[in-house]
């Protein structure tokens, strides 16, 4: 089988190596600054990369600001240009595919799979993100996780896994969540809980503030009440849970940490991606 790996970060480079190791033909594009085995070509044009490919693999997330997510390339490629280079029957796989890209791909007759809609990939990606988040906290603070007080906003996959890991390291954790059942589950695993309306009166007691909610759940009044010098980690996608510039202006140390699996554990992230791609291909044969 031939795979075309288009764009992405170090995860994509590791994925190309894994696929090549498994005996597949692999070609890459918009990865010119990546370190790749010499057996894997870096195509000079998109058409040369995707020609004859059974499966075209985009990064996670696939797009950044309307363009292909390609931090290891100087190439600026719009999703529509990419789709126009493919042909009916090709399989297109990537993470967080935009609506416009999906619609164009379906009109082109492509077989489309968004990896983040797969439970196997989403859970693996969340586990790597949770582990990477702990690494970020430890690298940017003089405090240990042990004996610290940590606020985690949200109760999705990442928040659940992060809560368990931070509790295991000896921290006191409070989960802020909108739903009653989410707060009850957080308490059942050993954390405290509160709704977002109660945060302004509680936030001053935390050393670490972690947001996983892609909506403004930490308003300006809440940020003003946070402890001076508290570390605020943003894990959510745009628009995020707070106004970054305001948080910095009131004395918080802000860390934006998108794409943690690719930054902290690209080999493991590529393994999770590779397993999900193989599973998707097997399911397509049924």
Asked if the model's pLDDT at residue 111 lies above 70, the reply is yes
- Rounded Cα gap, residues 222 and 20, in angstroms: 50
Q: Which of 132-146, 177-191, 248-262 is least confident?
A: 248-262
Residue bearing the bigger pLDDT, 258 or 199: 199
Q: How far is the C-alpha of 110 from the C-alpha of 87, rounded, in Å?
A: 7
Kindly give the interhelix angle for 157-168 and 119-139, rounded to the nearest 10 degrees. Answer: 50
pLDDT at 258: 82
Q: Is residue 231 over pLDDT 70?
A: yes
What the chain holds in terms of domains, given with CATH numbers, is 2-117 (3.40.50.720), 124-262 (3.40.50.720)
257-284 b/e with 16+ CB inside 10 Å = b? bebbbbbbbbebbbbbbbebbeebeeee
For 21-70, how does the pLDDT look when each residue is reduced to its tens digit (9 = 90+)? 999 999 999 999 999 999 999 999 999 999 999 999 999 999 988 899 99
7/30 Cα distance (integer angstroms): 5
Report, as an integer, the average pLDDT of 142-156. Answer: 97
- Reported as type and span, the H/E element at residue 238 is none
What pLDDT does 162 receive? 98
Between strands 63-64 and 231-234, the pairing is: unpaired
Q: Quick check: 286 pLDDT over 80? A: no
- 285 has a pLDDT exceeding 80: no
């Amino acid at each position: 089988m031939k795979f075309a790996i288009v764009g992405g970060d170090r995860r994509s480079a590791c994925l190309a190596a894994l696929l090549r190791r498994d005996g597949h033909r692999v070609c890459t594009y918009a990865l010119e600054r990546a370190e790749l085995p010499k057996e894997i070509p870096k195509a000079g044009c998109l058409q040369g990369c995707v020609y004859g490919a059974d499966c075209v693999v985009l990064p996670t997330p696939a797009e950044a600001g309307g363009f292909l997510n390609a931090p290891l390339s100087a190439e600026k490629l719009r999703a529509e240009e990419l789709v126009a280079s493919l042909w009916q029957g090709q399989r297109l796989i990537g993470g967080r595919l935009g609506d416009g890209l999906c619609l164009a791909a379906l009109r082109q007759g492509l077989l489309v799979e968004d990896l983040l809609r797969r439970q196997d990939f989403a859970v693996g990606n969340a586990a790597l993100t949770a582990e990477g988040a702990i690494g970020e906290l430890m690298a940017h603070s003089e405090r240990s996780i042990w004996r610290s007080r940590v606020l985690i906003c949200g109760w999705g996959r990442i928040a659940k896994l992060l809560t368990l890991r931070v509790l295991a390291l000896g921290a006191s954790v409070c989960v802020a969540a909108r739903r009653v059942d989410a707060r009850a589950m957080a308490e059942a695993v050993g954390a405290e809980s509160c709704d977002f309306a109660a945060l302004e009166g509680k936030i001053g007691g935390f050393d670490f503030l972690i947001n996983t909610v892609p909506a403004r759940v930490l308003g300006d009044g809440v940020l003003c009440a946070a402890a001076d010098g508290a570390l605020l980690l943003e894990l959510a996608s745009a628009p995020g849970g707070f106004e970054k510039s305001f948080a910095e202006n009131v004395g918080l140390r802000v860390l934006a940490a998108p794409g943690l699996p690719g930054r902290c554990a690209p080999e493991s992230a590529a393994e999770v991606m590779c397993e999900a791609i193989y599973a998707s291909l097997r399911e397509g044969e049924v």
